[in-house]
Amino acid sequence: MAGAGVETAVEWLVSVAPDPDACRREWERNPRGVALLPAGRRWDVLILPGELGYPTFDVLTRLIDRPGPVLSDFGDARMGFFVAPGTVARWVGTGVRGVGQGTWIVVPHPGGASNGGVRWLIPPDGSGTLTDAALLELAMHDAVARQAENGRD
């Protein structure tokens, strides 16, 4: 993502921060290029374990051209899908952690290089595009079904 696209994504992300300028400074100063941002205003994040997240991501990216932002962290152990605010309060599934109102999440700079920690698989584009939670759930079910089929082969 170059120039104006990165800046638009930065503006979208920092718009939720209590102090957007402090968030920008944190991205610049933090050696990992990450900052803490509050969830629940413009987005919630559904966090899937990597063994479910990657197959779900594969299904999701076959269903739609560009889902909302997706994070991966620490050796790809977990994936975070950005969904509409309020989703976490309504989510009933098991094995999925939710980051919503009243919680914070580590977010890398949308234009920065990965430093071995949290990285974007799909960075935000600044438009506010989020992954539809119902579509994400369908992709999860499809991924689990495919895993079960492959386990029987």
Q: Is the pTM of this model over 0.85?
A: yes
Are 33 and 81 within 8 A, CB to CB?
A: no
pLDDT tens, position by position, for the chain (153 residues)? 456 788 999 999 999 999 999 999 988 888 788 899 999 999 999 999 989 999 999 999 999 988 999 999 877 789 999 999 999 999 987 789 999 999 999 999 998 766 668 899 999 999 999 999 999 999 999 999 988 887 755
Confirm if 48 and 54 have CB atoms less than 8 A apart.
no
DSSP per-residue string spanning 106-153: EEE-TTSPP-SSSEEEE---SS-----HHHHHHHHHHHHHHHHHHHH-
Rounded distance between C-alpha atoms, residue 125 and residue 13, angstroms: 10
Cα gap 136→131, rounded to integer Å: 7
